Structure 1
Amino acid sequence: MNNSIYGGAMPAQSTEAAAAPAPRKAAGTQCGSRPIFLVGMMGAGKTTIGRQLARQLGREFLDLDHELEARCGVRVSLIFDIEGEEGFRRRESALLQECAQRTDIVIATGGGAVLAEANRRCLRELGLVIYLRARGDELYRRVARDRGRPLLQTADPRARIAELLAQREPLYEEVASLAVETGIMPVSQVVQSLIPLLQKHEAA
């Protein structure tokens, strides 16, 4: 079997970015033009919240994992199977560095994107970072049945989530400009709570 998922250079055109143009910014929600990055554990709501936040801000939205899958033509779980986590992380880092150069965009990063120092530096220096925080039990409830999560294919996924959260939470906090609890709050309320926080941060 070929050990490479995607042999040549990645296409420059983003599949999600190639969709309909971003809507006009709603009045009072402008937060500068640099990227907004969402970080946090799997199941924290980065994709769902990110999509609605982008709509509110009149920005494009891009999910880094989905974009990687679109470019490689296979699921993240298969990239893990063939290239291992190390191979996946290399691809993730290259894509993050590319997409971080764009403006007026909300980017949902993968849960492990903060593991590489180069990625953390990229997030801190090129954009505004929002940490979506959730407790281990809530994360487990959301993702326990998701077979597309390669890091959870263990005998005790609850313990694995706790282990990953302990490892990654200090890194999320290190890069975060803002943090918000997702918990059981409806997505719309989370997004509405973020708007004034973003405005305040940009005005500081």
Structure 2
Amino acid sequence: MLQMHHSEHHWNGKPIVLVGLMGAGKTTVGRRLAQKLNLPFVDADAEIETAAGMTISDIFDRYGEAYFRDGERRVIGRLVDGTPKVIATGGGAFIQDQTRELILEQAIAVWLDAEPAILADRVRRRDTRPLLRGKDPEVTLTELAAIRNPFYAMAPIRVQSVAAPHDATVNAILKAIEA
């Protein structure tokens, strides 16, 4: 269930940033983790939408991915301000070099790792993901995993997100950060 690399991690009050593919449960797990730790929860995508005054799909459609990634980096930079909180990021955030460096320097990154079949099952329930429009979710997520997992693997903590209640994942994170 749980893999640690580098040294053992004791949570030091830094923001906890959840990274991983769409459908890994970053928002749901993040909310529950924040409740358990009695911390604020922030969804970076929701913050980006608020700052832009439009949905992420609309930002992608109107301005393109590069514009979105720049705004995402700025919003995450503002969120990892040293105060304790739990932050859920969009699936592509940690892939961007500058954004990843910010997160690794200023926060504790936790990779919610899940099999593409589990992710596909979860994301089929909502049609709000620009990268999946008109595509087979499992094929697309398998391709994304091949590209993105080496980046996610740079997170110091990796927790398997399985087809089980989200509390199992929350408890695995709490154990990993020894909170």
Match of 1:44 among 17, 21, 24: 24
Aligned residue pairs, count: 170
Detail structure 1 runs of 4+ shifted over 2 Å in the superposition.
154-158
Higher relative contact order (CA 8 A, sep 6+): 2
Q: Aligned pair 1:71/2:64, yes or no? A: no
Deviation at 1:162, TM superposition (A): 1.1
2:29 partner letter: I
Deviation at 1:86, TM superposition (A): 1.1
Q: 2:153 is paired with a residue of what secondary structure?
A: helix
Q: State the identity as a percent.
A: 38
Q: 1:41 is paired with a residue of what secondary structure?
A: coil
Larger radius of gyration between Structure 1 and Structure 2: 1
Partners of 1:139 and 1:189 in 2: CA distance: 16
Correspondence 1:96-115 to 2 at 5 A: 96-115=76-95
Deviation at 1:92, TM superposition (A): 0.5
Match of 1:22 in 2: none
Cα deviation code 1:87-141 (max 9, x no counterpart): 1111101111111114111100110001211111111111111100100111111
Deviation at 1:169, TM superposition (A): 0.4
Match of 1:138 among 109, 118, 123: 118
Correspondence 1:11-160 to 2 at 5 A: 31-160=11-140
Q: 1:37 is paired with a residue of what secondary structure?
A: strand
Match of 1:178 in 2: 157
Match of 1:189 in 2: 168
Deviation at 1:145, TM superposition (A): 4.2
Partners of 1:102 and 1:78 in 2: CA distance: 31
Match of 1:169 among 118, 138, 149: 149
- Unaligned 5+ runs, structure 1: 1-29
TM-score by length of 2: 0.90
TM-score by length of 1: 0.79
Cα deviation code 1:67-99 (max 9, x no counterpart): 111222211101111011111111101111111
Partners of 1:103 and 1:127 in 2: CA distance: 10
Partners of 1:190 and 1:116 in 2: CA distance: 25
Match of 1:8 in 2: none
Q: CA RMSD in A?
A: 1.5
- Contact preservation (8 Å) 2:95, 2:152: no
